[in-house]
Amino acid sequence: LNHSHAMALIRPSATARLQLSTLVSTSRAASPWEWSVDVHGGGTAASPSQPRHVLLFLSGWPDDKRAWTPTAQAVASDEIMCGVICMPGYEDVASARKGIPGGFDIEDVVTIVEKTAEKLLQHASCSKLTLVLHDWGCYFGSLFFNRRPDLVNGILLVDIGLGRSDASAKKGKVAETNTKATTDPHLQQTTAGTVRLVFYQLWFASAYLLGRYTSACVGDMFLKTYFALASFLPFVGVQSGTMTSKSAPGMKPMRPSAEITSYLGYPYWMVWSRILRGGSPPKPRAPDDLDATPVVFLYGKMKKVFFHTASFLRDVAQHSPPCKVVGFDCGHWVMDAFPAEVVREVRALLSTLEKRTKL
């Protein structure tokens, strides 16, 4: 992926303080396309301030920027600048489907996150930022951290864990008051859960392929068939409720169902295409030093599939604060089910990071 040498364009935004936009070129795109990050906080457009903290929010399937915008707006202030992005192609799906039908490769997405982080830090005149991630955002944001740990001072993950770091288990003091999560019965992934995970991910990948090589209508119809099956076949769904349930908190995507298309499944195919060919997709790793880069992990308990291991939770929960594990009585979209609590955890992490810089 080649990033244009042009300076980022600063544009007004109806939903944010401003928008940083730039042109990006990839090997899969016929022509450069515009990539933007919504910026909240850090003063006003007319009178920008010097922020003490910079955060980068990244959502996953099937959400666009609206998933993290309320959290970013609640956290942002003159001293806290929040940048909000979504998966490439998830905002203007029609244009992405036409211009980049093959989706974005794994390395492309990681590079886009890296360039976004650099633009944000340059705009704020800061050297490090804090990552706030959900779903595929956890995967790609953490791969970005593995590539550029020098740019990250902390990570808050929502519902998707990381691969275990051998070094992380050996460092730091055990906080006995923070170990309740390690005995939580919801930690264990079952064989049935693993089967459900593989089933839905391959279905989403297949829907993407059908949409690409037959027609968008066929791919979208195939994707909707999964949701129909999951609504009345308990062994198909991945959550305790259904993705169309309004009563269960955090069970359904934050994006309107009418906007969820098969094209949004391209990350599933990017990962599974490597596995099916006998290869291995890159695996994000937890920080080697959780003292230097603390991790906060928030997850929903009301699921039949879990996206973390007990060893990862044990490493984080048994480490000294601000490392922390918090389970919520909800589904996958924790920030939708418990918005105030997620904002509180983000602010708590920033508060601890600020105290460290003053020492």
Tens-level pLDDT at each residue, the chain (359 residues): 544 434 456 665 666 678 888 777 776 776 777 889 999 998 765 566 789 999 999 999 999 999 999 999 999 999 999 999 999 999 999 989 988 899 999 999 999 999 999 999 999 999 999 999 999 999 999 999 999 999 999 999 999 998 876 554 454 444 433 444 444 555 556 778 888 889 999 999 999 999 999 999 999 999 999 988 887 776 666 655 544 445 568 888 999 999 999 999 999 999 999 999 999 999 999 999 999 999 999 999 888 888 888 888 888 998 989 999 999 999 999 999 999 999 999 999 999 998 876 65
Q: Are 129 and 120 in contact (CB under 8 A)?
A: yes
Q: Are 21 and 9 in contact (CB under 8 A)?
A: yes
3-state secondary structure at position 86: coil
Helix axes 266-276, 106-124, angle to 10 degrees: 130
Segment holding 187, helix H or strand E: none
Terminal C-alpha separation, the chain: 40
3-state secondary structure at position 39: strand
What's the chain's length in residues? 359
Residue 48: strand pairing partners: 43
3-state secondary structure at position 52: coil
